[in-house]
Amino acid sequence: MLNRTFTAFWLFGLINNVLYVVILSAAVDLVGPLVPKATVLLADVLPSFSLKLTAPFFIHIIPYSYRIFVLIGLSMLGMVIVAFATETSWILFGIVLASSSSGLGELTFLQLTHYYGDISLSGFSSGTGGAGLVGSFVFLVLTTWMHISVKTTLVLFSAVPLVFFFSFFWLLPDPETVFLRSRQNGDFQLEEGYSGETSTLNFSLSGLRFDLDTLEKVRVHMALTLRRLRPLVFPYMFPLCSVYVAEYIINQGVSPTLLFPIEELPFKRYRDVYVSYGTLYQVGVFISRSSGPFVRIRKIYWPSILQAVNLAVCILQSIYFFIPNVYIMLVLVFYEGLLGGASYVNTFMLVSERTPLQDREFAMGAVGISDSAGIVLAASISMWLEPRLCNYQVNDGRPWCTMS
């Protein structure tokens, strides 16, 4: 059962995040070199963030099985729209749909780990890291090495979410059975006033229990939710958020300007540099997100500090051009991914270890708000930062950021 659980959650992480990674890898192709790539990032994360921010107030009444159908529908429709749209507004609309699916999926699967133990969290974390590696590398191979069109590549990826069906309904052990066994062993003792997230395990309409039928009950429920959020902010949410702010400013706001003369590059096009940065970053993320069972970081503010140093180095390189070649930058981006992935997996492992059992499902979903919050903030800053760095380089005689 442990192998099935790990594999199912690994696939959940992989499939849930792979389209998000592909869209970011295709950012230059979707909007061109002159539009800030943070435009794509903002469309890719803002819906996810909004959903995570509001979901703790209502997500407990929606069965997990129903969420799976929504995930598949949103992600497939979104990718098809992105692939075939010719106007930027429609491309961004398709990204919004796919992003909504990713946000709901991360929240859903992190909460689901509550019923399967540490093996499920390790599997999901590793799968999300694998999504970055698979998504960015396969996109690189198909579009850069094999010269398959971006449109065809996106259509191929649109079929990937169908794997959710197999993973949830056939591979994953029955969550109702696992929960009932846990209750028989006395592992679940819900505190008074707890609103019963366990109803989400039901696979039928009977799982939908809309018991918030008065304004007073809504007010009490929201107050309880906010009270349960408060102790999670500084130990877990703030460090994770700050790591994501720094690394996504690097990825979307600074890396498009970390360029060198084309004759000094092992690439034929500048867009290949951007895709390669993204791939190496995702390799680092995959390695560190898979390291949770072997390497633990309990002082999770350290990755935040080191990631801020990386951001400073990258901005200085964009301005002063003191690093002599692209290979050093590729190593730095890989290291950036290691820090980001380590922060993610260690944060959620600490939440799982330190949060009381009756609050753990809620906490796992709530802490997931922080990475999206960091990405939204990073995207907002990058929308301002990238054009200014690029303009500075052009005025300094380095027009590479305007070339494709």
Q: What is the pLDDT of residue 369?
A: 83
Q: What is the pLDDT of residue 186?
A: 46
* Whether pLDDT at 2 is above 80: no
In this prediction, residues 139-166 reach a mean pLDDT of 93
User: For 263-288, what is each residue's pLDDT tens digit?
Assistant: 999 988 898 999 999 999 989 998 99
Cα(404)–Cα(393) distance, integer angstroms = 15
Q: What is the pLDDT of residue 204?
A: 38
In this prediction, residues 123-140 reach a mean pLDDT of 89
User: For 338-349, what is each residue's pLDDT tens digit?
Assistant: 999 999 999 999
* Whether pLDDT at 22 is above 70: yes
Residues 56 and 361 sit within 8 Å (Cβ to Cβ): no
Where does residue 61 rank: exposed (0-12), middle (13-18), buried (19+ CB within 10 A)? Answer: middle
How far from the centroid of its chain's Cα atoms is residue 248's Cα?
11
Q: What is the pLDDT of residue 175?
A: 56
Q: What is the pLDDT of residue 177?
A: 55
Confidence of residue 77 (pLDDT cuts 50, 70, 90): very high
Residues 312 and 363 sit within 8 Å (Cβ to Cβ): no
Averaged confidence pLDDT in the chain:
85
For helices 357-395 and 301-320, what crossing angle results, to 10°?
10
Which structure tokens are listed for 176? 């109702």
Q: What is the pLDDT of residue 62?
A: 85
Q: State the Cα torsion 245-247-251-255 to the nearest 10°.
A: 110
User: For 311-333, what is each residue's pLDDT tens digit?
Assistant: 999 999 999 999 999 999 999 99
The residue behind tokens 């505190």 is 191
* Whether pLDDT at 205 is above 50: no
* Close Cβ partners of 104 (under 8 Å, ≥ 6 residues apart): 48, 51, 55, 67, 70, 71, 74
* Whether pLDDT at 337 is above 70: yes
Residues 358 and 127 sit within 8 Å (Cβ to Cβ): no
* Percent of the chain residues topping a pLDDT of 70: 88
Instruction: Report the predicted TM-score, pTM, of the whole model to 2 decimal places.
Output: 0.75
* Whether pLDDT at 176 is above 80: no
Alpha helix ranges (H) inside 290-325: 301-320
- The rounded radius of gyration (Å) of the Cα atoms in the chain is 21
Look up residue 114 and give its amino acid. H
Q: Which range has the worst mean pLDDT, 50-64, 130-144, 172-186?
A: 172-186
In this prediction, residues 185-196 reach a mean pLDDT of 39
* Close Cβ partners of 101 (under 8 Å, ≥ 6 residues apart): 16, 19, 70, 71, 72, 74, 75, 78, 161
* Whether pLDDT at 194 is above 60: no
Confidence of residue 399 (pLDDT cuts 50, 70, 90): very high
Domains in the chain, start-ordered, CATH in brackets?
Answer: 2-402 (1.20.1250.20)
User: For 104-129, what is each residue's pLDDT tens digit?
Assistant: 898 889 888 888 878 898 899 889 88
User: For 207-256, what is each residue's pLDDT tens digit?
Assistant: 334 444 545 666 776 788 788 888 899 899 999 999 999 999 999 999 99
